[in-house]
Amino acid sequence: MIEGFDLTGRAALVTGGGTGIGKEVARLLAQRGADVMLVARRADRLEAAAREIAEETGRRVASLSCDVTDADAATAMVQEAADRLGRLDVLINNAGMSSFSALSKMAPELWDKDVRLNLNAAFYVSHAAIAHLKAHGNGAVVNVSSLAGINGTVGCGAYSAAKAGLQMFTRVAAAEWGPAGVRVNCVAPGMIATELAKRGWAKVGFDATDACKVFPLRRPGTPLEVAQAIAFLASDAASYNTGETLTVGGGPQLKGMIDAD
């Protein structure tokens, strides 16, 4: 294992861990030596993902079903995860999903739903986990935001606002918890071809291939490419990084006045 990336002896909790980016993060953390707890609402997918990763890596990989938008449920879940793993060193706040609606047509209940899942849940879980993360002096939190939280996305106003809030939560938490040895960083993925994203694109008739023509890398990203960035920020390889948001979006979408090679 390359120095700085080895997570042997550490325990990680990954929300939204049953599919997509969360599952790839869990797999990568386990490959690097961590014991992992997967958390999401659907127990069937979680259990299947945990078995798959455990068999592949030989690490202890378990699962807990939880609605992380419920503060009390999130608190109980974190305590159970810490009890079952014996400790908690890494927290990946990955649970998230976007509704599609113009702001003028968005019901307040839909706005609240997006904010609870994409912003409030990260606070609830982090708040419950912070004492455990401080216990060994080298805890790490990685929040999963989105380029929508930086640039905004028309039709995803609540999601964009919540993800922007998540980035500021990251900065403030990093400032408050850094003296106790806990780092808090954020990853902001762009257009990532998860199964959930592809279903959403199909539902609204969005052509991802065409949209990627303005990206320097000319393609959507993969869940593994986001997981690599998250695993970096969770590891000692990023031991002097905190309060940062790392974009994983295929490059800057710049306009110019001439054609360039």
Tens-digit pLDDT profile for residues 62-109 = 999 999 999 999 999 999 999 999 999 999 999 988 888 999 999 999
- The residue-averaged pLDDT of 110-119 equals 96
Residue 88 and residue 98: Cα distance in Å, rounded?
29
Instruction: Categorize the per-residue pLDDT at 26 as very low, low, confident or very high, splitting at 50, 70 and 90.
Output: very high
Contact indicator for 252, 52 with CB cutoff of 8 Å: no
What was the pLDDT predicted at 258? Answer: 65
CB atoms within 10 A of CB 77: 24
What pLDDT score does 42 carry?
A: 85
Give all domains of the chain, ordered by start, each with its CATH number.
Answer: 11-193+223-246 (3.40.50.720)
pLDDT at 146: 95
pLDDT greater than 80 at residue 121: yes
- Average pLDDT of the residues in 112-135: 97
Mean of per-residue pLDDT scores for the chain: 93
In degrees, to the nearest 5, what angle opens at C-alpha 173 toward C-alphas 168 and 176? 130
Angle at 73 between CA 65 and CA 41, to 5 degrees: 25
> Higher-confidence residue: 97 or 125?
125
**Residue 6 Cα distances to 2, 13, 84, 231, angstroms:** 7, 17, 22, 10
Q: Which residues are catalytic?
A: 159
Share of the chain above pLDDT 90, in %: 77
Minimum mean pLDDT among 137-146, 175-184, 189-198: which range? 189-198
**Statement: residue 20 has pLDDT above 70:** yes
Ranges 82-91, 169-178, 192-201: which has the least confidence:
192-201
Buried b (16+ CB within 10 A) or exposed e, 170-197: bbebbeebeeeebbbbbbbbbbbbbebb
pLDDT per residue as tens digits for the range 217-257: 889 889 999 999 999 999 999 999 999 999 998 888 766 66
